[in-house]
Structure 1
Amino acid sequence: MDIKEKRNEKLKQAKIILNALGMPKKQKNDRSAWVFLALANIKPHDSWNSARSPLLPTVEIMQFIRDHYGQDYKPNSRETIRRQTLHQFGQARMVDRNRDNPARATNSKDNNYSLNDPILKILKEFPEGEWGKFITEYKGNFKELTEIYERKLELEKIPITLLNGNKIKLSPGKHNQLHADIIHEFCPRFVGKGGRVLYIGDTASSRNEGGKLMVLENKYLEKIGVPPMCHDKLPDVVVYDEERKWLFMIEAVTSHGPVSPKRWHELEEALSSCSVGRVYVTAFQDKAEFRRNAADIAWETEVWISENPD
């Protein structure tokens, strides 16, 4: 059997397994089958009992598919693979994300994916062993597997107590930790008791990885003249001082830029109908991060550094 035939055979077998696992149509197509083969480290001439579960970033999954199955996914396909295959594999409890460090931020360059042990057990029995029996076990234990995974993630989440006493939790990562510092350290010092959090997001929400718009008070924002804006246009945290009628627009900088002159002009233009005063703040975790971005910060905006909160 030549290499093309072996590739097609493995692709077909991967689809058989995905179908048996109950995956939806879009998660048992060619793309998902190739991703599945990469996650199992199965090359065209390999037997399934040699399956492994290496920790693979998306780019390495794409490289494996390119090298061994001749499918050359372009760099801009990475998000499609992540959002339309890996995310669903995770939901089905086939794949663990960041098994080596569950607290890793969702936007980290070191994010990786790996098959979990129940799936590996199935693969090692395919096609002639008891793989069907193990699939039945996997499906029977799905709820338990999901609960274990969710409990593990819950332990890593960052708790935040909002100014009104409500409690939320954000997905792990230094960007969301800076969000927490802004609420817990910046707001009591510089906003005060009259503060009201109008917007705070979870980093994972912008990546379709389970995060949520934790707070988004659209009606209140519109009441003070802030037009409807999609959440990626707003700064990371928006807090309103009801006593002084100041709107704090706070960018948390860990990977992307501060309130630059361009960003300031964009926000001012968007907020031209806003009836209250605006205070633009760029928040950093430490002085080193501030120094890296200092040249890009707009004049007449504020800077706050978490490690020196006062």
Structure 2
Amino acid sequence: MSKIQEARIILRELGLPDAQQNEISGYTLLALCNIKENDKWSKSFRQSHGVSKGIMTFISENYKKEYAPNTRETIRRQVLHQFVQAGIADYNPDIPDLPVNSPLAHYAISEIALETIKSFRTRNWKKALENFTFKIGVLKEKYSKNRNMSRVPLTLSDGRVLMLSPGKHNEVQAAVVEEFASRFAQGSSLLYLGDTENKVLYVDRELLERIGIPISEHSKLPDIVIYEEAKNWLYLIEAVTSHGPMTPTRIVELETFLKNCIAGKIYISAFPDFFEFKKHTTEIAWDTEVWIMEFPEHMIHFNGDRFIGPRW
């Protein structure tokens, strides 16, 4: 029996659904276990792999199975995501607080799955399977707790706490709401905030609709939207950690999208530090604002003749 056939049997007996017992799932398991065609399963070992340069390269080099580059997302979404949920793989075990969309994202066979798989085709296999089934619920709970411990807490003005997924981008977003707004938009309300895991983590649909912002097209909004009702000012803020400041093109897009909005619009690019800001200075549109998390008491005005405020 070939290794790919054995891998698919292992996945079936570990309790994976039919959709994750297919060929691509089997090859992914072989890559995570670092098992070649003539290796014994007892030789499996744990090593972190990225998707493209790790798992797909291993499959290509050792099984001569070539997958197109766009298969990366298929492996990530339809195989590895389910492996993690089932306790078979660990996500970012070397750097648990990596942001969700980090290019350094990696996977490794879990310790309990490795221990179980190494006993395949031995007299201990059934006992190992029972042990896996017994322990996996505990491991899932532990994984969930560890993931939550890495999250970024964001306290809203009414005392509610949102838990943002880990990463620098969301650290900037939390600082915008807690630090920027308290200094430069006092008395304002959070209308919208996205998240790298959840694009609509927070939304005040009623107020957005009242001031003329379409509530069914969140993908067009910037990362954060804050509204200061006393002045009728709308703060549209992009949190910038690698790309995406308020460029002239982005301003035109937002002006078109917000054509029916009755509030005065203020466009802001928020950066974690001065180093990141300097990388994007040539992209930032005039008549916008810059706020840097590293220096929360200050702002940089790209407005020329005036300080912060909308240009009606």
| TM-score normalised by length of structure 2 | 0.91
Matched, 1:199 2:192: yes
Tell me the C-alpha RMSD between the 2 structures. Answer: 1.3
Q: Counterparts of 2:87 and 2:198 in 1: how far apart (Å)?
A: 20
Aligned to 1:87: 81
The answer to whether residue 243 in structure 2 is matched with residue 243 in structure 1 is no
Tell me the secondary structure at the aligned position of residue 111 of structure 1.
coil
Counterpart position of 1:100? 94
Alpha-carbon separation, structure 2, partners of 1:37 and 1:205? 31
Equivalent of 2:31 in 17, 22, 38: 38
Give 1:209's aligned residue.
none
Instruction: Give the Å deviation of 1:229.
Output: 4.5
Q: What's the counterpart of residue 243 of structure 2?
A: 256
1:298 to 285, 292, 304: 285
Instruction: Choose which of 97, 110, 117 in structure 1 pairs with 2:104.
Output: 110
Deviation beyond 2 Å, 4+ runs, structure 1:
217-220, 228-233
Query: Given that residues 220 and 257 in structure 2 are in contact (C-alpha distance below 8 angstroms), is that contact kept between their aligned partners in structure 1?
Result: no
What amino acid does structure 2 have at the position aligned with 1:120? L
Map of 1:24 onto structure 2: 17
- Partner Cα separation in structure 1 for residue 121 and residue 204 of structure 2: 54
Shift of 1:214: 1.9
Deviation readout 1:248-290 (Å, 9 max, x if unpaired): 1100000222111111100110010111111110000111111
Displacement after TM superposition at 1:30 (Å): 0.9
- 1:78-227 counterparts in 2 under 5 A? 78-193=72-187, 195-205=188-198, 213-227=200-214
Contact 1:164 1:196 (8 Å CA) reproduced: no
- For residues 25 and 222 of structure 1, what CA distance do their matches in structure 2 show? 44
* Cα distance in structure 2, aligned partners of 1:254 and 1:89: 30
Contact 1:31–1:81 (Cα < 8 Å) also in 2: yes
Worse overlay, 251-260 or 213-222? 213-222
Q: 1:278 aligns with which of 245, 256, 265?
A: 265
Question: 260-269 or 21-30: which moved more?
Answer: 21-30
- Pairwise CA distance, 1:139: 1.4
Map 1:45-64 → 2, pairs under 5 A: 45-59=38-52, 60-64=54-58
Selected match of 1:11 from 1, 4, 8: 4
Identify unmatched segments of 5+ residues in structure 1. 1-5, 207-212
The yes-or-no answer on 1:77 pairing with 2:71 is yes
Is residue 99–residue 167 contact of structure 2 (8 Å, CA) maintained in 1? yes
Residues of 1 paired with 2:44 and 2:144: CA distance?
A: 26
Deviations 1:168-195 (A, max 9, x none): 11111111111111111101011112x1
Cα 1:289–1:125 shift into 2, 3 Å: same
Output the CA distance in 1 between the equivalents of 2:94 and 2:78: 23
- Quickly say closer, same or farther: Cα 1:55–1:147, change in 2 above 3 A: same
Between the aligned partners of 2:234 and 2:86, the Cα distance in structure 1 is: 42
C-alpha displacement at 1:132, in angstroms? 2.1
Equivalenced residue count is: 296
CA contact (8 A) 1:96 1:113 kept: yes
Shift of 1:222: 1.8
Instruction: State the distance in 1 between where 2:68 and 2:186 align.
Output: 50
Distance in 1, Cα, partners of 2:227 & 2:143 = 37
Amino acid at match of 1:250: I
| Counterpart Cα distance in 1 of 2:36 and 2:286 | 56
Q: CA deviation at 1:105?
A: 1.3
The alignment's TM-score, normalised by the length of structure 1, stands at 0.92
Q: Give the whole-Å Cα distance in 2 for the aligned partners of 1:129 and 1:160.
A: 52
- Residues 1:228 and 2:221 aligned together: no
Share of identical aligned residues, percent? 42
CA 1:229–1:301 in 2, change beyond 3 Å: closer, same or farther?
Answer: farther
**Match of 2:10, as an amino acid?**
I
Which has the larger share of helix? 1
**SS of residue matched to 1:199:** strand
